[in-house]
Structure 1
Amino acid sequence: MLQRRHWLAAVLAAGYAPELLAQGFASSAPELLPLLGLDGEGLDAADTVIEGRLPAGLRGRYFRNGPGLMQRAGQRYRHWFDGDGLVQSWTLADGRASHRARFVQTEKFRAEQQAGRFLLPAFGTAIRAERPVRGPDSVNVANTSVLPMGGRLYALWEGGSAHELDPVTLETRGLKVWSEDLRGMPFSAHPKVEPDGTVWNFGSANGRLVVYQLNAAGAVVRHALLDVRAPAMLHDFAVSQRFLVFLLAPITMDMAAVRNGTAMLDAMHWTGEQPTRVLVVDKADFSRTRVLEMPACNVFHFGNAWDDGRKLRVDYVQSVALPELNLALNQVMRGERSNRDGSTPRVLEIDLQAGRLSVAARDESVEFPVVDPRFVARRHRHVWYPMATDIGDRWGFNGLMRLDIETGARERFSFGAGTVVEEHVLVPKPGSSREGEGWLVGMGYDIARRRSFLSVFDALRLANGPLARAWLPYAVPYGFHGKFHPA
């Protein structure tokens, strides 16, 4: 049923092996240490060195997920998306911070850890399957994001099921089945959680979308399967007061190329002469949909959306076209700097009555947009991003930016050329209600010190610099996405 199942069948028929890339990777270079990955063991720091002062009201756990294991037995993944999921937990309380990281014990991870080599195909790397592949969860790497919900914690990957973890120990409890009729259906890595705890999500299923509504306890309220000609890759979406919004990029899959030995990601084709379709789904009735068109664009991440019944506004980050993006990520996995053009902020306005679209574009190099969680699916004005600032010869993002999407004003902070900055999330100040009144919390890596750190900013005063940094005694592989769960 799933498009990925067709890929898996083709992979089994092709019978090919991964490139030997680990031999050429300069693992001793300090700027490459987080890209080397771990060997499958966890990390623990019961205490950390605090620079500055952690806010007294900042209490809880900050969870992150990302690719943590990149190579086995001299073979290295070609693409960053392929690494096995490493979930981190920062515990913050009483001015102190501790850190824990554990690999998600997926079926794939356990088998390959025992064998000491790659056994199964990966999304961006061609590998001959040495174990039965019964469906997407046979190759699920659980490496993209996390969802704390109803006292539970889930590790997410867009191609398959969520994995439940113990929120304290990070021990893997197993695959999550939301309901029997949804068993094995994909549960995307970017669920949207409204202030009342309602969760919206989707999964891509062979040109169709399964859409979910869950309550705050994690029970399925509604779901539906929509035949919308979904693209070969669909990573994120946005939610407003009344609608779910998807940007369906013109990405197709060459299954013949996969059968001939091409990795799934390399077999995707960007047909830029075709439009990106804007799919608007009514939250109250999933069968009520509308499709508009805009010039071709590739989008991985959304900030937020809001509507007043007449106009719908969506902010997102527009990436480069898929071939250029994959080339850049392959360069990163080889330990090479990429000079590809960066992704940039956009605000899409849809006149629902007239069916007209307009897009406001900016030129800052950003990614991983976040908003105040109290304003998800509500009218908002602030979006926060990691940002690349032009300071010397840098690797990746080295600063943070807050953008006021109403006025266009921005505020920035740069760590300088020697730091790589990851996604930061907004943590509201207890008892506050003003948008952005809280802390921006996230991770970074200091190349000279060869250490990763947690940084905490006043979210409305980025230019003042971090209030505190908690330094780890080691480097952690770069992650994708995280969530903060208050104590």
Structure 2
Amino acid sequence: MRSEDDFELPVEGKLPAGLSGTLYRNGPNPQFEPRDANYHWFVGDGMLHAFTLGQGKVTYRNRWVRTNKWRLEHDAGQALFGSWGNPMTTDPSVMGAESGVANTNIVQHAGRLLALEEAHAPFQISGPELDSIGSFDLGGKVTAHPKTCPLTGEMVFFAYADDPMPLSSKVSWGVADATGKLLKRETFEAPYCSMIHDFAVTRDHVVIPVLPLTGSLQRAMAGKPAFAWEPEKGGQLAVMRRDQGVASLRWIEAPKGYVFHVMNAYDEGETIIVDVMRYASAPLFPNADGTRGENAAAYLVRWTIDLTTGTVTETPLDDLAGEFPRFDERLSGLPYRHGWFVGQSLKPGDFRANIIAHIDLETGQRTDWTVPAGDAISEAVFTPASPDAPEGEGWLTAVVYRGQLNFSELVVLNAQDVAAGPVASAKLPRRAPFGFHGNWVNA
């Protein structure tokens, strides 16, 4: 049902005839002024955006995710919860209450639309209405980047700090079948509490990177950062077989640095190939003593994990700083050729993406499209031209903020010809807050 704040957007260019469905996007947008002096952008309330395309038209709707936290604060007319669940800055009236924000990603599995974040259960949404339904039970926390296996239809997921005690070193992983039924959930102890945003899944393996962006309740209670960069702790990769789980767990030393996002991964004989956006140090977070950290940039690299020797070799794949890697997810966990990411050619420490890049991993060739100075691009989401189209043949959808004019617009690009720029665009009636992740769902 349409409401007064739904909009049919004016379209420039021609929308692809076969592109029919909805681009969903998620990101943090606090409902009220935060309580914490050390408030972090990552913990704002989830806000969803739905761009529905079909018959040459684009309609737009956006809603907050009405989590338990959102409802309690909405009724109170003020913020009640501290950042990262910090008890020192949480109002006593809500101590122990469900505090999820569902602000990082939105995925569809088994016909359910799920808003996801780092530290709570998935939150189910109706699509494209964006009505809040409630928590979806997969046995506990699920982080923002589950992987759907194209061979089995299973959704493989993980969670870090998976313990009632905040900022614990426990990590879980699990599998839900193609209907959404939980098949397996196991927990193991990591060397320390690490912020683990993403992981890698292949046909046969799971790789969970435990890297030294550490969490510490003791540090948070002392008024210092809950999460901080501690490179001296080193990094480890938890490697397991999907069919054996924790019984097959082994630890392999990781290359130095930090990873927020994995592009894709696959098995190759006795090795696992994992393509990641790797930072020299974790950006956007301080050092353990509270001093400002280095805002390093990420670059696309390949980790080749040798299962025989238990070692990792790192190979650069491209020299453009960037983030939010995507690929043709019909090949999730399998050998692949085409990838996309948003690039940054601005001054160091400026994380606004101003480039959409396509990389051919077979030839090493990169092509890209750059927006004017002052503009910024969201993650670019790939959608195949048809279910049986060749790999990489399809469309990219992204949201561009036009800085000089202070509005946002949806853009559609040919995924194999990004240098040509958008084939169509649709202007929003207002600026869309910068967010994190999104996904396309066919009509």
Q: TM-score, normalised to structure 1's length?
A: 0.82
Cα RMSD over matched residues? 2.6
Contact 2:193 2:216 in 1 (8 A): no
Structure 1 residue 474 and structure 2 residue 430: aligned?
yes
Instruction: Determine if the alignment matches structure 1 residue 271 to structure 2 residue 230.
Output: yes
Contact 2:379 2:398 in 1 (8 A): yes
Structure 2 distance, partners of 1:474, 1:223, is 42
Matched, 1:311 2:264: no
Residue equivalent to 1:341? 296
Partner Cα distance (1:449, 1:376) in 2? 38
**Is the contact made by 1:394 and 1:418 (CA closer than 8 Å) also made in structure 2?**
no
Q: What pairs up with 1:148-163 in 2 under 5 angstroms?
A: 148-163=108-123
CA deviation string 1:47-68 (max 9, x = no partner):
1011111100000111111112
Equivalence for 2:84: 123
Determine whether 1:54 maps to 2:15.
Answer: yes
Distance (Å, rounded) in 2 between the aligned partners of 1:316 and 1:43: 42
What are the equivalent positions in structure 2 for 1:320-339 lying under 5 Å apart? 320-322=280-282, 324-326=283-285
The question of 1:193 aligning with 2:148 is answered yes
Matches of residues 244-323 of structure 1 in structure 2 within 5 Å?
244-262=206-224, 266-286=225-245, 287-322=247-282
Q: Deviations over 1:224-262 (max 9, x none)?
A: 122333533111101111101111102433433322233
1:60-209 equivalences in 2 (<5 Å): 60-69=21-30, 71-72=32-33, 78-123=39-84, 127-134=89-96, 138-178=98-138, 182=139, 185-196=140-151, 197-204=153-160, 205=162, 206-209=168-171
Contact (CA 8 Å) 2:25, 2:437: kept in 1 or not? Answer: yes
* Alignment-mate amino acid for residue 276 of structure 2: Y
Please tell me whether the aligned partners of residues 190 and 210 of structure 2 are also in contact (alpha carbons under 8 angstroms).
no
Aligned twin of 2:399: 443
Match of 2:337 in 1: 381
Measure how far apart 1:408 and its partner are: 2.2
Shift in Å, 1:73: 8.6
Letter of the 2:9 counterpart:
T
Cα-to-partner distance string for 1:415-446 (whole Å, 9 max, x where unaligned): 12131001011100114331111101111111
Cα separation, 1, equivalents of 2:243 and 2:35: 52
Structure-1 separation of matches of 2:57 and 2:441: 16
* Residue 328 of structure 2 corresponds to residue 368 of structure 1: no
Partner residue, 1:243: 205
Is the 2:256–2:280 contact (alpha carbons within 8 Å) kept by the matching residues of 1?
no
Q: Percent identity?
A: 30
**Equivalent position SS for 1:81:** helix
Counterparts of 2:36 and 2:209, CA distance in 1: 36
Cα distance in 1, alignment partners of residues 36 and 212 from structure 2: 33
> Aligned pair in 2 of structure 1 residues 198, 422: CA closer, same or farther (>3 Å)?
same
Letter in 2 for 1:357: V
Pair 1:464–1:120, CA change in 2 (3 A): same
Q: For the residues of structure 1 that align with 2:261 and 2:350, how far apart are their CA atoms?
A: 23
Residue identity opposite 1:208 in structure 2: K
Instruction: Provide closer, same or farther for how the CA distance between residues 282 and 134 of structure 1 changes in structure 2, counting only shifts above 3 A.
Output: same
Structure 1 residues 312 and 72: CA distance shift in structure 2, 3 A: same
Give the one of 174, 193, 198 matched to 1:231.
193
Q: Hey, what's the Cα distance between the residues in 2 that align with 1:472 and 1:438?
A: 24
- 1:210 corresponds to: 172
How far is the alpha carbon of 1:75 from its aligned partner?
A: 8.4
Structure 1 residues 191 and 73: CA distance shift in structure 2, 3 A: closer
AA matched with 1:247: P
1:392 and 1:465 map into 2 onto residues whose CA distance is 25
Q: In the alignment, is the contact (CA less than 8 A) between 2:355 and 2:371 conserved in 1?
A: yes
1:434 corresponding residue in structure 2: 390
Distance (Å, rounded) in 1 between the aligned partners of 2:170 and 2:349: 44
Q: Distance in 1 between matches of 2:407 and 2:265?
A: 36
Question: Is residue 51–residue 58 contact of structure 2 (8 Å, CA) maintained in 1?
Answer: yes
Pairwise mapping of residues 452-467 of structure 1 onto structure 2 (< 5 A)? 452-467=408-423
Number of matched residues?
426
Q: Aligned AA for 2:258? A: N
* Letter in structure 2 aligned against 1:397: A
Q: Which moved more, 1:313-322 or 1:253-262?
A: 253-262
Letter of the 2:212 counterpart: P
- Matched letter for residue 441 of structure 1: T
Over 4 Å off, 4+ runs: 73-77, 390-395
Structure number having the greater helix percentage: 1
Compute the displacement of 1:292 (Å): 0.9
**Bigger relative contact order, structure 1 or 2 (CA pairs below 8 A, ≥6 apart):** 1
1:82-123 Cα distance to aligned partner (Å, 9 max, x none): 210011111110111111111111111111112221111112
Q: Distance in 2 between matches of 1:407 and 1:133?
A: 55
Contact 2:297–2:348 (8 Å) recurs in 1 = no
Aligned AA (1:456): V
Q: Flag the 1:431–1:73 CA change in 2: closer, same or farther, 3 A.
A: closer
Give the 5 Å matches for 1:413-432.
Answer: 413-432=369-388
